[in-house]
Structure 1
Amino acid sequence: MLSLARLFLFLLVGLTIVYVSVSLWSRQVRKGKLRAAWDEGDREYGDDRDLYVKRGLEDYDDSFRRKLILLVYIVPLAVIAYIIYVVNFT
């Protein structure tokens, strides 16, 4: 039982590192797309590029895409739980 707890501890640490990395990468990609859209002429908030990027990132923070990154935690834990169930109860 102790080894299973240690496995989950290391797994959660590793998944947290992956989650933070993917989250930061995704935010930077979105910021780049917002800057490119502003450069191409999308001046929704006037001529202030920083305000445009800031409001775009606020919209991104509330988006479904951002919430999908949480699957980094859910999928591996679900697969491990399924494997444990199959090995022990079938």
Structure 2
Amino acid sequence: MGLIRLVVVGFIVLTVIYLCISIYSRSVRREKLENRWAEDHPDGGDPAARTAYIEQGMTQYHSGLRKKLILLVYVIPVIAVGVILYLTNAN
């Protein structure tokens, strides 16, 4: 019963952490794209072109490696708990 509770609570906590990291990472990427646009177009440029540029950059972000690496939030703690349980019960 304790293991089931650990798994459920752990999954919920890891999901909250994943969502927070994912939102933060997306906002940082969007801000970098906005800053890059502002550097390249000091006069402001066309608002439609700016929006298209930022959306294209965010599309590339969503299919990139960084978004997939954030999934390690689920993998690393599970492996760590598994190793700790194994080492504890092996002795």
| Matched pairs, number | 86
Stretches of structure 1 that go unaligned for 5 or more consecutive residues are none
Structure ranking higher on relative contact order (CA contacts 8 Å, 6+ apart): 2
The alignment status of 1:57 with 2:58, answered yes or no, reads yes
Which residue of the partner structure matches residue 82 of structure 1?
83
* Sequence identity percentage: 38
Which residue of the partner structure matches residue 3 of structure 2?
4
One-letter amino acid of the counterpart of residue 29, structure 1: V
Which residue of the partner structure matches residue 36 of structure 2?
37
Q: TM-score with structure 1 length normalisation?
A: 0.90
Runs of 4+ in 1 over 3 A off after TM superposition: none
Hey, what's the Cα distance between the residues in 2 that align with 1:21 and 1:87?
Answer: 32
RMSD, matched Cα: 1.4
Q: TM-score with structure 2 length normalisation?
A: 0.89
Deviation (angstroms), 1:50: 0.5
Hey, what's the Cα distance between the residues in 2 that align with 1:18 and 1:87?
Answer: 27
Hey, what's the Cα distance between the residues in 1 that align with 2:88 and 2:12?
Answer: 25
Stretches of structure 2 that go unaligned for 5 or more consecutive residues are none
